Amino acid sequence: MKNNLAALATAILLGLLWHGPLHALTSDSEQPINIEADRVDADDRKRLTVYRGKAIITQGSIRISGDTVKMYFDDQNELIKLISIGRPARFRQRPDGKKEFQRAEARRIEYYANKDLMILIDRAKASQGSDTIRADRIEYDTFHGKVKAESRPNQKAGQAPKSRVQITINPKNKKRP
């Protein structure tokens, strides 16, 4: 019974997560939430639900996947944090008014619901259409629309980073009169 309640709370809270700050399709919040995994562990006392084994969570145009997806809740059973870990973990959504999906992937994706903050860690890549940004770490403040990307410093002091932030912005196809 406890696992059923925790799973139901997870599904309801996922709907709340995706309804607002990530600016997905307005209709996404009205769609059913589907969760697939090889195993689910829900702990009401720790307020934690863990999906393991090629976990896939979808609602409308939104999809989160990873080898493991962890969801943390507060005392009111509202989502605090979602962590997806994989090789890679992936996120996608289609914003209102757009044809192209926003996509993100990294070895670790963290979403902090109360801060409207998504962090992509280790081999991070975010894209919409053919425009991309790659870095070791990408922070996206979904409420303010701010992005911070950085490369990981080299292990030895004074040496250049192992990699650099890479951004590709393609010209828009303009129709000529």
User: Each residue of 44-96: pLDDT tens digit?
Assistant: 999 999 999 999 988 888 899 999 999 898 998 887 899 999 999 999 988 77
* 147, part of any domain: yes
Total count of domains within the chain = 1
pTM recorded for the entire structure: 0.77
Q: Which of 10-14, 78-82, 130-134, 146-150 has the lowest mean pLDDT?
A: 10-14
User: Each residue of 96-123: pLDDT tens digit?
Assistant: 777 888 899 999 999 888 888 899 999 9
**What CATH code is carried by the domain that includes residue 88?**
2.60.450.10
- Judged on CB neighbours under 10 Å (0-12, 13-18, 19+), 170 is exposed
* 21, part of any domain: yes
Yes or no: say if 33 and 57 are a contact pair by the CB < 8 Å rule: yes
